[in-house]
């Protein structure tokens, strides 16, 4: 082979190697025979992964649960939770569109379904699916707060929640109760024996309320398991105000009924209390609480043989004790005790007191050997010491 031929072959070899390098580089850059369009290859990510709370097909779910759905490696296009009637539950979609949660309570005994889609980083849509069902109570028990919104009450007023059925799990209920006050006030819940067809719980301050205190009570009872298959029917709440500090000082041996208001005596009325020689007719000693009042009240006793209507009657316990007018005992008022347990005043004095009395005013009776107690019913909260009262809490 001559020198000229060797030089030609060398040039052809160099050209061939260079061409192969170009092809290899083009393939490494994502261009080649497999890419007929000549553009960059798409890099595909994972598909959308959806998680549900409560878990899919969960049953007996607490209706207080916040239901939510979240997506990883994607975002939601549309999302909703619908009830059996197809109505959407109120909810909120996060700003990054990666989660959604309910903002309204669920209902008892309902099946909820997820609707909507999410798009993953692979560009494909994934539908939401499945759902869950909430618990169905064997019985729903309702609670009622004794003090209505906007009322003004006396300084001894207890907060009472009366249930229309029995509560087994009192601790669960008590955890759902709260009392907030505008003035720091120490107090506690206490469970009293069932009455009026159901359980009852009272909140009592350690000492009398401070006048002017703003009070809010909240009972988040919906969804609370009461035990025995019973659940709370609905939340209840109330906001009210403590009024002036009016206290009746009722010393039975003074034959007077003294009215104190904000620490000052505003009235002293000649009175007749229960007959001391008959324990059944003694006016009970202890802190009574004004609970209701009547312009005219029929009073009946088979034991003592009377059936009368008395005016300006203010109930101070549930055992039949009232402060009321009684013209029949006018001669004894201010000098002797002859009543059947009530506090008797003249018509004018009874009317004057009646006009000032409000629910929750304390009436402090002293001087008799018979004490107000639980057997007298209704409001006997103040007959207990603070330590005794706290022992009535389920917590």
For position 28, what pLDDT does the model report? 36
Order of strands, sheet of 362-366, starting from the edge strand that comes earlier in the sequence:
264-270, 256-261, 246-251, 362-366, 286-289
Detail the DSSP E strand segments found in 185-224.
187-195, 198-205, 214-219
Judge contact between 287 and 362, C-beta under 8 A: yes
Domains of the chain listed by start with CATH number: 49-133 (2.60.40.3780), 139-243 (2.60.40.3710), 246-380 (2.40.440.10)
Residue 5 makes CB contacts below 8 A (sequence gap 6+) with: none
For position 2, what pLDDT does the model report? 54
DSSP 26-86: HHHTT-STT-TT-SPPP---PPPEEEEESPTTEEEE-TTS--EEEEESEEEEEEEEE-TTS
Instruction: Give SS3 for 279.
Output: helix
Give the separation between CA 186 and CA 204, rounded to whole angstroms: 9
Residue 342 falls in the annotated catalytic set: yes
Prediction pTM value:
0.83
For position 378, what pLDDT does the model report? 83
For position 20, what pLDDT does the model report? 39
Catalytic residue among 202, 288, 340, 342: 342
For position 31, what pLDDT does the model report? 38
Token pair, residue 237, equals: 């709440």
Residue 202 falls in the annotated catalytic set: no
Catalytic residue among 202, 288, 324, 340: 324
Judge contact between 202 and 190, C-beta under 8 A: yes
For position 3, what pLDDT does the model report? 54
Give the separation between CA 390 and CA 205, rounded to whole angstroms: 10
For position 291, what pLDDT does the model report? 97
For position 257, what pLDDT does the model report? 98
- Show pLDDT as tens, one digit a residue, over the chain (395 residues): 455 545 544 444 443 444 433 333 333 333 333 444 444 445 678 999 999 999 999 999 999 999 999 999 999 999 999 999 999 999 999 999 999 999 999 999 999 999 999 999 999 999 999 999 999 999 999 999 999 999 999 999 999 999 999 999 999 999 999 999 999 999 999 999 999 999 999 999 999 999 999 999 999 999 999 999 999 999 999 999 999 999 999 999 999 999 999 999 999 999 999 999 999 999 999 999 999 999 999 999 988 899 999 999 999 999 999 999 999 999 999 999 999 999 999 999 999 999 999 999 999 999 999 999 999 878 999 999 999 999 999 99
């Amino acid at each position: 082979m001559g020198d000229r031929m060797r030089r030609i072959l060398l040039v052809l070899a160099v050209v061939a190697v260079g061409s192969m390098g170009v092809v290899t580089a083009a393939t490494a850059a994502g261009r080649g025979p497999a890419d007929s369009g000549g553009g960059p290859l798409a890099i595909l990510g994972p598909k959308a992964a959806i998680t549900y709370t409560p878990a899919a097909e969960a049953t007996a779910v607490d209706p207080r649960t916040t239901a939510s759905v979240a997506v990883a490696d994607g975002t939601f296009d549309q999302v909703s939770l619908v009830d059996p009637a197809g109505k959407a539950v109120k909810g909120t979609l996060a700003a990054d569109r990666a989660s959604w949660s309910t903002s309204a309570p669920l209902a008892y005994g309902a099946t909820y379904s997820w609707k909507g889609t999410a798009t993953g980083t692979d560009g494909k849509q994934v539908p939401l699916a499945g759902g869950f069902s909430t618990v169905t109570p064997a019985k729903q028990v309702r609670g009622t707060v004794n003090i209505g919104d906007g009322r003004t009450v006396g300084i001894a007023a207890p907060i009472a929640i009366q249930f229309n059925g029995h509560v087994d799990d009192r601790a669960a209920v008590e955890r759902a109760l709260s009392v907030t006050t505008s003035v720091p006030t120490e107090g506690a819940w206490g469970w009293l024996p069932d009455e009026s067809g159901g359980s009852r719980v009272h909140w009592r301050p350690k000492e009398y309320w401070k006048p002017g205190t703003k009070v809010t009570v909240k009972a988040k009872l919906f969804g609370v398991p009461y035990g025995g298959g019973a659940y709370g029917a609905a939340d209840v709440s109330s906001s009210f105000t403590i009024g002036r500090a009016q206290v009746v000082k009722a010393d039975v041996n003074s034959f007077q009924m003294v009215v104190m208001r904000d620490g000052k005596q505003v009235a002293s009325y000649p009175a007749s209390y229960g007959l001391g020689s008959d324990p059944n007719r003694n006016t009970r000693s202890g802190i009574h609480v004004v609970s209701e009042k009547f312009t005219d009240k029929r009073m009946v006793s088979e034991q003592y043989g009377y059936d009368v209507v008395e005016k300006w009657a203010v109930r101070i316990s549930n055992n039949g004790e009232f402060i009321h007018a009684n013209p029949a005992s006018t001669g004894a008022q201010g000098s002797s005790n002859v009543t059947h347990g009530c506090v008797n005043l003249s018509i004018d004095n009874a009317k004057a007191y009646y006009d000032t009395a409000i629910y929750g005013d304390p009436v402090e009776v002293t001087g008799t050997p018979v004490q107000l107690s639980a057997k007298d019913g209704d409001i006997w909260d103040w007959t207990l010491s603070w330590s005794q009262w706290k022992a009535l809490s389920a917590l």
